[in-house]
Structure formats: structure tokens, C-alpha cells
Amino acid sequence: MPVDLPGVVRLRDQREALTLRTILTAARRLFAEGGYARTPIRRIAQEAGVSPQTIYTCFGSKAGVLIGLVDLMDDVAGMPDLMADLEGTTDPDELIGLLALAARRLREHCGDILAILNSGAAVDPDIAATQAEGARRNRLGVEMVVERIRATGHSVDAKATDIAVALMSGGVHDSLVIDAGWSHDDYEIWLRRTLGSALVASPASRRADQAE
């Protein structure tokens, strides 16, 4: 029975990872240009330089390709690094800054993928479910940050998670960056400042609350 040597396994894994990323990159471009519903698997295969069967083997379906873009989105936006920074941070200002940075990176670097997911969710229930799961995970991440701030002893609004999710939403970003012409730097600075004032009570506010 043949046995794979460690070096051979690593090389094969690298090739498989490259194939997956090539397919996802091609799909991202084509979905953005022509829309999810109007882009067939054969066109993605042609753009990626692979066979349609390779795509089916890797992802199972066109919906599977779109779901794969969610993982690509986290990678492109640098979410693993942000999560590592989050684990080592207890300062409320820094935690709020990481929330603002995460929102900025997702919208700036992956806005096209988010739009593709929206269009895909309109025609495929599985994609709608994936989008809903993504929203649930995002909310859990925000809630984790809010609870970490609360654990430092700061006075945090009882509806802090709801407020943060709303402020970090795509609608707010698009209104400021796309419609009003703000830069992403402007957006991140505003979001960090607004999250800070909306979520954490100032010392003066805490004193006023205690006096009532």
C-alpha cells in the first residue's frame, strides 16, 4: 500500500489550496461583473483554467462556490489577525477600535463579496441561510467585545450590541462612503468615535446616573 511522504502531502495540500483560491478569485470577479444568477459554472471553470468537474469536486455546486467566498472574505479582510489582537486586548478604547477596523476592512476590501452574497441570497435559500449565519456570527463577535468591555467595570449601555451592529451595518457605511463620498479613513475614525460614545458611558454620565 503506497504511503504519502510528509513533503508530498504538504505539496499536494498547497496545490489544492492554490486551486481553491484560483477558483474563488475567478468566481468573485465574474459574480461581481455579471451577477451570481447569470454566471454558469462552465464560465467560472474557463476563467480559472480548470474543468467544471474540478469545481463540482471542490465545492459541490455554484452555491458552494459562493459559500467559499465567505472564507476568502475573512482571509482578505485579515480577520484572523484581528481576532488574535482581540484576544490580547482588554482596553475598552482599543476593543472599540478593533470593531471599527473590522467593519472598515470588510466593507473596503470585501464589499463586492458582500454584494454578491446579497444577490445570491435573493435566488438561493441555501445562500440566504449562509448569509444569516454570517450575520449571527458577526453579532456574536460584537457581543463578545461588548461583554469584555463590561467586564473591565465600565458602564456599558444595556443595548450596546444592538447599537454596535446597527452602526457597523452596510447601510450606514454605504450612506457615508458611497453616497456622501467619505474616505474609508473618515469612516473608520467616525465609527470608532461614535461606537465609543454610544456604547460606553463617560465619567460625567456615570456620575449623573449615580446621582439620580
Residue 50 shares a structural domain with residue 1:
yes
Tens of pLDDT along 156-191?
999 999 999 999 999 999 999 999 999 999 999 999
The domain boundary residue, chosen from 40, 60, 80: 60
Three-state SS string over 105-164 comes to HHHHHHHHHHHHHHHHHCCCHHHHHHHHHHHHHHHHHHHHHHHHHHHCCCCECCCHHHHH
Residue 189 shares a structural domain with residue 113:
yes
CATH number at residue 16: 1.10.10.60
What is the percent of the chain with per-residue pLDDT over 70, rounded to a whole number?
88
Bigger pLDDT: 78 or 172? 172
Q: Give the structural domain span for 38.
A: 1-60
CATH number at residue 122: 1.10.357
Please give the Cα distance from 84 to 41 (Å, whole number): 36
Nearest in space to 145 (alpha carbons), one of 198, 87, 201: 87
Please give the Cα distance from 153 to 133 (Å, whole number): 31
Where is mean pLDDT largest: 80-89, 110-119, 192-201?
Answer: 192-201
Please give the Cα distance from 64 to 72 (Å, whole number): 13
Tens of pLDDT along 38-56?
899 999 999 999 999 999 9
